[in-house]
Chains A and B, each alone.
Chain A
């Protein structure tokens, strides 16, 4: 009997309710980042499940890079150990449903990792943003397994890096500030080669936060003391 089913399956004669193959057997799937340029560079976008390592200093647009992706998610988004308060007002104005957000402030790095693993494993969260310092290889592997169980994506937001060892992640991005938006360096991508750096243009989504408009119109670069005099009427 089992042989027969196997045979029919090989012949593609059996229709399966679960989209042809069980999830565990599915290949590396991607989901759009919302930026066409980035999607092209990443051959489709972010991985649908797994660990993404984002190395960036805080405040250059690393969250904005993920916002179009988060906007499309239907399951919860867990934000673990953010460096400051998440501003619901800002998310609201950028069209993100804040009802899906779960802000977790753990007391220790161990608890943060534990919470991340629970969120991923549960299947209730489609994405987890984790701000964490140094991570060990085995910790990342554990997160990777949890992400597979719950089919979620975890983004490790890391700013001041002291370690250089490569982690077993699906995708590793390094972000640098740029006048047009962000300079993205793909240091690692599963199933692909490293690519040269490229500039992600964010001026259409956030014109105010790209410097080029103002600079071209001749806005002076003022030091703090000068700014004081300039703006006081």
Chain B
């Protein structure tokens, strides 16, 4: 039979509070409609406050009381943190409710000399977390839980003794519905021991199957399904440099080390990532955060190295560099590229890869896509968008009457300086009164003396401007 260890944390939220402040003040945590005390510290206990007391009674007992409301989400989060902390020593951890962790010990004993050493390691880990806990071993998850909740607190792996201790527990601590417990008491079953004395078959006849299942699981005769905790996938590594760096070029080697670790991490999980965060830790100043992105997912260290190099070229350090850290929080699945077996692969990159390189070197804003938008004002008829996002338009000639527009538009409208010959026009554009950018212009196609085709307009005040070039 597998051996289980149950850790019961009766006052997680309270422990979390004390993590920060050292001063001792009577503190209670209240929950429920009646605001009854569920967690209290020793100072509050000395003042006479007991568990289950109402808030009013507690406040009357002690005048300088610090009251917090029970927060289940915070408790759960703390429990998950503890699970992650213990994951370094135990592979199989089950989060049981909001107050307990169930650890499968038998699998881990091959790694340690004996259970004492294992427990010693765990205890040291828990001690670092500064939490109050009760624990017990057990040959079934339920037995371990009941003993831990009853504050057994002894490292005893003798099954006889464990069963004896379990038998002494009253029926009221069992995780059964009230009605069930009542009916057990009515027939004179007061302790778990008395319950175990009844053969299973008899139990099935007298009570319902639910109880039989419960007792079976408690005695380890029936399978108790548990789901094991999986730590969230996250890559975070930090490297402290042996000497301070002043030149970012020299960062390539240390960074490569981290990127290779990332590559191994991703390769093992068959994952790619689209962006990595590099934090440069500078002496006596704020750390510098850099985000390096690749539009197509990538895992290879040399590719990331190339992209990082481009970003680092644009970066300036304020102070010498003492360390560098690399973090990746989001991962993506590799998508299968359906490439033709026969077509010779030309080029070295995909479009998304090219984009990543260009944006890393030139900056995001220097690389853009364009798309037409439905606005009659020529300067608003072109919008800049993220590249490769605008859809391919299906151009139907029947629908649209083709308009003649210049291929190049000046970034700013300029007053017309040279003398021109008007060739065609006018085309009046009068719109935009609704959004404060009103235009009323007569556009002409004109040619200047060097035979360039220009797009000029005249506004309401008869002033002439140059707006585009028919390139």
Residues of A within 8 A of B (CB): 17-18, 22-23, 57-64, 67, 75-76, 82-95, 97-107, 111, 114-115, 118-119, 121-125, 149-152, 177, 206, 208-209, 211, 214, 219, 221-225, 227-228, 230-232
Contacts and interface: CB of A to CB of B under 8 A. Distances in A.
Contacts of B403: 89, 93
Nearest to B345: A123
Nearest to B363: A107
Contacts of B393: 92, 97-99
15 contacts: A60-B471, A63-B408, A63-B471, A84-B410, A86-B382, A87-B382, A88-B371, A101-B370, A115-B358, A209-B453, A211-B423, A214-B424, A224-B418, A224-B464, A230-B422
A165 B58 CA distance: 96
A99 B387 CA distance: 8
B143 to A, nearest CB: 63
B297 interface: no
A76 B390 CA distance: 12
B419 interface: yes
Which of A18, A98, A125, A219 has the most chain B CB within a 10 Å cutoff?
A: A98
B214 to A, nearest CB: 64
B374 to A, nearest CB: 10
Q: Which 9 A-B pairs give the minimum distances between C-beta atoms? A: A123-B347, A17-B342, A177-B451, A59-B452, A90-B405, A89-B381, A150-B347, A122-B349, A124-B351
Chief secondary structure at chain A's binding surface: mixed
Given A98-B390, A208-B445, A104 B347 contact: no
B346 interface: yes
A102 to B, nearest CB: 5
Interface in B47-72: none
Given A98-B371, A98-B390, A119 B361 contact: no
A89 B429 CA distance: 15
A111 B310 CA distance: 12
A87 B150 CA distance: 77
Interface string B435-471: 0000000101101001111100010001010001111
A18 B420 contact: no
Contacts of B418: 224
Which of A59, A209, A211 has the most chain B CB within a 10 Å cutoff?
A: A59
Contacts of B388: 76, 99, 102
A118 B354 contact: yes
B426 A60 contact: no
Given A91-B407, A208-B424, A59 B453 contact: yes
A59 B469 CA distance: 5
A82 B403 CA distance: 22
Contacts, number: 223
Contacts of A86: 370, 382, 407-409
A25 to B, nearest CB: 11
Contacts of B419: 223-225
Contact of B442 (A95, A123, A231): A231
Interface of B: 341-351, 353-355, 357-358, 361-362, 366-373, 378, 381-384, 387-388, 390-393, 395, 397, 400, 402-411, 416, 418-426, 442, 444-445, 447, 450-454, 458, 462, 464, 468-471
Nearest to A105: B366
A84 B17 CA distance: 62
A64 B407 CA distance: 8
A224 B416 contact: yes
A123 B347 CA distance: 4
Given A90-B406, A93-B404, A208-B445, A99 B366 contact: no
Given A99-B393, A123-B348, A222-B421, A61 B470 contact: yes
A88 B450 contact: no
Nearest to A56: B471
Contacts of A23: 344, 346
B348 A122 contact: yes
B420 A87 contact: no
A70 B357 CA distance: 24
Nearest to B368: A103
Contact of A125 (B354, B391, B406): B354
A222 B471 CA distance: 22
A105 B469 CA distance: 19
B411 A84 contact: yes
A201 to B, nearest CB: 16
Contacts of B450: 57, 177
A98 B395 CA distance: 11
A221 B408 contact: no
Contacts of B378: 87, 89
B382 A89 contact: yes
B343 to A, nearest CB: 7
B431 to A, nearest CB: 14
Which of B405, B442, B468 has the most chain A CB within a 10 Å cutoff?
A: B405
A64 B393 CA distance: 20
Which of B350, B419, B426 has the most chain A CB within a 10 Å cutoff?
A: B419
